[in-house]
C-alpha cells in the first residue's frame, strides 16, 4: 500500500505557535491528569493586581496546567492561580490559536516549583488512556481529493518531523530514547540506537515542538537504516485534541507551501522551441 509523505520545513513562527502546549521546558516530567477544576485567576500587570476571575483547568501536572478562560492572556504574563487555600504565581508559556478548536486555552508553569494549587487532586487522580479511534472524517488532514472511506489506516497522511520520543516497555522498566521522524494520526516512525522487535507493546511519550502527547503503542515493523514503525493503540485522556492540533498545524503548513509553488511554463516552452 502507498503512503503519502509530506516533508515539512517548520518556520520559527509555527514552532513558536505550537511550543509549550503542555509540559514547558524545564518542568520535570511527571504524572499528567486530564481533570476539570475551577480556579481563580488574578492578572498582574505593571506591578498592579487586577480583579479575580474564574477559570477551569483541562490538564494538571506537578509543574503547571492547561487552562480555559474568557480573558485574553499573552505569553509571559504572570498570573496568580488559586484553588481553595492553595495559591501559586504562574507564568503563561503558551496560548492557543484563536482560530483553532483550542481557542481560549493557555498553558501556565508555576514560578515556584512544588507549590501547585492542585497537588492533592493530582495525588489522588490516575492517568487514563482511551482507544485511538480512526472512524472520523478521512479528509481532515488530506489534500489528495480522496473522499471519506477511500483511505485506510496505512494511508493516513504522514508528516516528516523532528521530535523526541521516550519509550517504556509495558510490564517492564526498560526505557529508550529516540527521534520521531514521521507522524500520522495512527502511528509514527522512530529512530533509536536499540530497535525493538515487532509486537513489542510500549508506553510512548512524544515531544514535538514541546507538544507533549502520551500513548500506548505497539511496534509493527523494522525499517533498515530508518527506524521502527509504531502503531498507536491508546492515547492519554485529554491528549487527543493536542495530537489533532499538531497534525492540523503540519497540514496547514504543507498546504501553504504547496500554494506558494509557482508553475512557470513560458520558459519551458521557449526552451523546447529552441
- Domain 128-259 sits in CATH at 2.40.10.220
Query: CB of 62 within 8 A of CB of 115?
Result: no
Query: CB of 118 within 8 A of CB of 57?
Result: yes
**Position with higher pLDDT, 163 vs 264:** 163
So where are the chain's domains? 33-124, 128-259
Three-state DSSP class for residue 250: helix
Which residues contact residue 95 at a Cβ distance below 8 angstroms, ignoring those fewer than 6 apart? 73, 74, 75, 105, 106, 107
Give the tens place of pLDDT for each residue, 81-115. 999 989 999 999 988 888 888 889 999 999 988 88
pLDDT over threshold 50, residue 5: no
Query: CB of 77 within 8 A of CB of 67?
Result: no
Residue with cell 529508550: 176
Which residues contact residue 85 at a Cβ distance below 8 angstroms, ignoring those fewer than 6 apart? none
pLDDT at site 144: 34
- Domain 33-124 sits in CATH at 2.40.10.220
Residue 203's pLDDT band (boundaries 50, 70, 90)? very high
**Position with higher pLDDT, 26 vs 61:** 61
Whether the pTM exceeds 0.75: the reply is no
Domains 33-124 and 128-259 share a fold: yes
Distance of CA 48 to the CA centre of its chain: 34
Residue with cell 509553488: 261
DSSP label of 210: T
Residue 123's pLDDT band (boundaries 50, 70, 90)? confident
Highest mean pLDDT among 155-159, 168-172, 216-220: 216-220
Half-sphere exposure (Cβ direction) of 50: Cα atoms closer than 13 Å? 17
Question: What is the average pLDDT across 218-222?
Answer: 94
Residue 181's pLDDT band (boundaries 50, 70, 90)? very high
Give the tens place of pLDDT for each residue, 227-262. 999 999 999 988 998 899 889 888 887 666 555 544
Three-state DSSP class for residue 192: strand
Amino acid at each position: 500500500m502507498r503512503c503519502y509523505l509530506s516533508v515539512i520545513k517548520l518556520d520559527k513562527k509555527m514552532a513558536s505557535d505550537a511550543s509549550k502546549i503542555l509540559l514547558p521546558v524545564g518542568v520535570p516530567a511527571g504524572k499528567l491528569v486530564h481533570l476539570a477544576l475551577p480556579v481563580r485567576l488574578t492578572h498582574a500587570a505593571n506591578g498592579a493586581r487586577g480583579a479575580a476571575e474564574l477559570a477551569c483547568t483541562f490538564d494538571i501536572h506537578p509543574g503547571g496546567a492547561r487552562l480555559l478562560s474568557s480573558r485574553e492572556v499573552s505569553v509571559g504574563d504572570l498570573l496568580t492561580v488559586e484553588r481553595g487555600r492553595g495559591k501559586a504565581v504562574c507564568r503563561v508559556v503558551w496560548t492557543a490559536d484563536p482560530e483553532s478548536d483550542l481557542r481560549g486555552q493557555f498553558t501556565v508553569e508555576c514560578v515556584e516549583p512544588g507549590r501547585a494549587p492542585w497537588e492533592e487532586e493530582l495525588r489522588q487522580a490516575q492517568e487514563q488512556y482511551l482507544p485511538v479511534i480512526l472512524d472520523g472524517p478521512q479528509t481532515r488532514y488530506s489534500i489528495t481529493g480522496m473522499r471519506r472511506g477511500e483511505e485506510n489506516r496505512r494511508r493516513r497522511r504522514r508528516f516528516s518531523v523532528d521530535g523526541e520520543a521516550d519509550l517504556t516497555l509495558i510490564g517492564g522498566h526498560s526505557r529508550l530514547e529516540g527521534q520521531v521522524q514521521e507522524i500520522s494520526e495512527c502511528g509514527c516512525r522512530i529512530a533509536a540506537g536499540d530497535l525493538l522487535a515487532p509486537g513489542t507493546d510500549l508506553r510512548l511519550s512524544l515531544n514535538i515542538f514541546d507538544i507533549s502527547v502520551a500513548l500506548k503503542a505497539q511496534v509493527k515493523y523494522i525499517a533498515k537504516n530508518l527506524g521502527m514503525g509504531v502503531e498507536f493503540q491508546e492515547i492519554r485522556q485529554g491528549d487527543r485534541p493536542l495530537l489533532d492540533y499538531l497534525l492540523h498545524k503540519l497540514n496547514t503548513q504543507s498546504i501553504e507551501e504547496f500554494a506558494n509553488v509557482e508553475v512557470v511554463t513560458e520558459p519551458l516552452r521557449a526552451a523546447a522551441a529552441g
